């Protein structure tokens, strides 16, 4: 007999249903950090795998050699092998793992085993678009490392080869971490890698934001251009379930990373997530290039359309972006329209249009819905009418959004 549901359970069910309807059917999501997960991957997230363990590990226990701590794992282990092989193919790497639970954990998975104690680490500071997790006081500091700034002072927080190389030569770090939360343009990676390797530093490429574009061959190919380890989140421009991934061509590094994951950075790797990530990797093998190309075309078209309508963006003279992101010119926005990005985002949210409160606009999810560059002027009109003119466009947004019932590239 089913237990009657408590009031709290009924409230929970109502909240989840309301969230799914609001975010899944009633808004256009332009958050650069998010994406829509494909239906098959969502099914796998809800599979029996969600509650299981496996730990394939040849180890001695009480005088016996065992090959897994757990029984019942014959399918789980094959799913993991399939996922890792797909990741290696897609990121053109010799070795890959889908075990890290998130982008942040993927970074730890590389930094914990590969850096000596008290290492000197170069990373882009948050005030120049870098990830807060690499700022002083966060991940490298937790591991006892000192963090020094790698400048990203070019247009749109881009990195200039000459100043990056000069900084690497002057600082002689043990590691350079590339990757940004505000990420518009590829790096001069060959020059940076060459300079880093000349002083004995490893190059880590945090591709969290651009992973889907790297997968589709539309950004840069970090491992081919000299990065030692690629890692990142699987849920920003890459449209997988939330999680992390890591890939490298270097056997010597992977031999240190792989055994260090379990019991140092995490234990259970969440196998339902890995099945969902595997599905997304396989989908990207089929449609990644067209998906990634359309995201970037949409971003550039939306940047142009918004800019033409008076909303200022950085890097206009460089075509706005080569990624899925656009960056509002925050000072220009205040000066010209007397509004801060946070207030603009709240105005847009009331009209069913989501951007973040720090000035980023992203096109990954609307591309998944099926929007194309020729539709960006219509989207820009709605954004400008809602955000700058204070018009009530929510009914129009809803009517348009309701026309997109399934995901493309899935
Ligand atoms: C560059 C970068 N790295 C890592 C992360 C953290 O990823 P996750 O949320 O998957 O841990 C983020 C999150 O926004 C990020 O922007």
Q: Do residue 102 and residue 135 come from a single domain?
A: yes
Burial of 308 (0-12, 13-18, 19+ CB in 10 A): exposed
Q: Please list the alpha-helical segments (H only) found in 134-227.
A: 139-142, 161-171, 189-198, 211-215
- What does the pLDDT read at residue 307? 97
**Which of 251, 281, 311 is the endpoint of a domain?**
281
Nearby residues of 164 by Cβ (< 8 Å), 6 or more positions away: 150, 151, 187, 188, 191, 192, 195
Q: Do residue 166 and residue 186 come from a single domain?
A: yes
206 lines ligand 1 (CB under 6 A): yes
**Which of 261, 281, 301 is the endpoint of a domain?**
281
- Cα-to-centroid distance, 388 and ligand 1 (Å): 30
Q: Do residue 302 and residue 262 come from a single domain?
A: no
User: Of the candidates 74, 94, 111, which has an alpha carbon nearest to the alpha carbon of residue 261?
Assistant: 111
- Cα-to-centroid distance, 378 and ligand 1 (Å): 31
Nearby residues of 306 by Cβ (< 8 Å), 6 or more positions away: 313, 326, 361, 380, 383, 384
For the CA of 180, the nearest atom of ligand 1? 1
Burial of 62 (0-12, 13-18, 19+ CB in 10 A): exposed
Below-50 pLDDT ranges, the chain: none
- Cα-to-centroid distance, 119 and ligand 1 (Å): 22
The helix or strand, by DSSP H or E, that contains position 283, with its residue range, turns out to be helix 271-308
Q: Could you tell me if residue 325 is inside a domain?
A: yes
Q: What is the pLDDT of residues 280-311, one digit of tens each?
A: 999 999 999 999 999 999 999 999 999 999 99
241 lines ligand 1 (CB under 6 A): no
Mutate to test the pocket of ligand 1, among 31, 102, 103 (most ligand atoms within 8 A of CB): 103
Domain containing 311: what range? 28-38+285-401
In contact, 187 and 230? CB cutoff 8 Å: no
User: CA 299, CA 217: separation in Å to the nearest integer?
Assistant: 16
User: CA 284, CA 90: separation in Å to the nearest integer?
Assistant: 8
pTM of the entire predicted model: 0.97
- Cα-to-centroid distance, 111 and ligand 1 (Å): 15
Q: Residue 172 maps to which CATH number?
A: 3.40.640.10
40 lines ligand 1 (CB under 6 A): no
- What does the pLDDT read at residue 1? 73
Q: Do residue 205 and residue 140 come from a single domain?
A: yes
Cα distances from 132 to residues 125, 140, 203, in angstroms, run 8, 11, 18
100 lines ligand 1 (CB under 6 A): no
Question: What are the strands, taking DSSP E only, across 259-335?
Answer: 325-327
- What does the pLDDT read at residue 303? 98
Q: Do residue 137 and residue 192 come from a single domain?
A: yes
In contact, 129 and 294? CB cutoff 8 Å: no
Mutate to test the pocket of ligand 1, among 232, 239, 364 (most ligand atoms within 8 A of CB): 232
User: CA 298, CA 58: separation in Å to the nearest integer?
Assistant: 49
Q: Could you tell me if residue 199 is inside a domain?
A: yes
Burial of 23 (0-12, 13-18, 19+ CB in 10 A): middle
Q: Do residue 216 and residue 315 come from a single domain?
A: no
Mutate to test the pocket of ligand 1, among 133, 159, 212 (most ligand atoms within 8 A of CB): 133
Q: Residue 313 maps to which CATH number?
A: 3.90.1150.10
Mutate to test the pocket of ligand 1, among 131, 179, 235 (most ligand atoms within 8 A of CB): 131
What's the structural domain count of the chain? 2
- Cα-to-centroid distance, 230 and ligand 1 (Å): 13
Q: Do residue 145 and residue 274 come from a single domain?
A: yes
Q: Do residue 95 and residue 34 come from a single domain?
A: no
Three-state SS for 353-392 is EECCCCCEEECHHHHHHCCCHHHHHHHHHHHHHHHCCCCC
- Cα-to-centroid distance, 233 and ligand 1 (Å): 6
233 lines ligand 1 (CB under 6 A): yes
234 lines ligand 1 (CB under 6 A): no
Q: Could you tell me if residue 261 is inside a domain?
A: yes
- What does the pLDDT read at residue 57? 87
- What does the pLDDT read at residue 170? 98
Q: Do residue 388 and residue 248 come from a single domain?
A: no
Q: Do residue 56 and residue 133 come from a single domain?
A: yes
240 lines ligand 1 (CB under 6 A): no
- What does the pLDDT read at residue 279? 98
């Amino acid at each position: 007999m089913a237990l009657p549901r408590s009031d709290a359970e009924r409230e929970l069910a109502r909240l989840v249903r309301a969230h799914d309807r609001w975010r899944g059917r009633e808004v256009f999501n332009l958050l650069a950090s998010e994406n829509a997960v494909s239906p098959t991957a969502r099914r796998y997230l809800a599979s029996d795998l969600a509650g299981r363990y496996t730990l394939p590990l040849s180890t001695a226990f009480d005088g016996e050699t065992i090959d897994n701590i757990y029984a019942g794992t014959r399918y789980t282990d094959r799913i993991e092998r399939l996922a890792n092989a797909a990741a290696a193919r897609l990121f053109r790497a010799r070795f890959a793992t889908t075990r890290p639970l998130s982008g942040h954990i993927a970074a730890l998975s590389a930094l914990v085993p590969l850096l000596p104690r008290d290492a000197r680490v170069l990373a882009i500071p948050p005030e120049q678009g870098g990830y807060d997790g690499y700022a002083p006081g966060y991940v490298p500091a937790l591991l006892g490392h000192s963090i020094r700034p790698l400048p990203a002072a070019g247009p749109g927080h881009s990195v200039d080869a000459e100043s990056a190389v000069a900084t690497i030569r002057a600082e002689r770090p043990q590691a350079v971490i590339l990757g940004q939360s505000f990420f518009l343009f590829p790096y001069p990676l060959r020059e940076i890698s060459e300079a880093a390797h000349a002083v004995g530093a490893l190059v880590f490429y945090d591709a969290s934001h651009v992973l889907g574009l790297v997968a589709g061959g539309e950004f840069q190919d970090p491992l081919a251009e000299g990065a030692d380890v690629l890692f990142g989140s699987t849920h920003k421009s890459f449209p997988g379930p939330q999680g992390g991934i890591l890939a490298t061509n270097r056997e010597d590094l992977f031999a240190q990373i792989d055994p260090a994951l379990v019991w140092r950075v995490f234990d259970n790797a969440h196998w339902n997530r890995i099945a969902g990530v595997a599905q997304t990797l396989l989908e990207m093998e089929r449609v990644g290039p067209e998906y990634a190309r359309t995201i970037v075309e949409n971003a550039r078209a939306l940047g142009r359309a918004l800019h033409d309508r008076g909303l200022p963006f950085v890097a206009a003279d460089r075509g706005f972006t080569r990624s899925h992101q656009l960056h509002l010119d925050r000072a220009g926005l205040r000066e010209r329209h007397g509004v801060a990005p946070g207030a603009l985002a709240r105005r847009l949210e009331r009209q069913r249009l989501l951007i973040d409160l720090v000035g980023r606009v992203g096109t990954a999810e609307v591309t998944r819905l099926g929007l194309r560059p020729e539709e960006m002027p219509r989207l820009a009109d709605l954004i400008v009418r809602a955000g700058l003119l204070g018009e009530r466009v929510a009914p129009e947004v809803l009517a348009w959004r309701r026309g997109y019932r399934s995901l493309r590239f899935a």
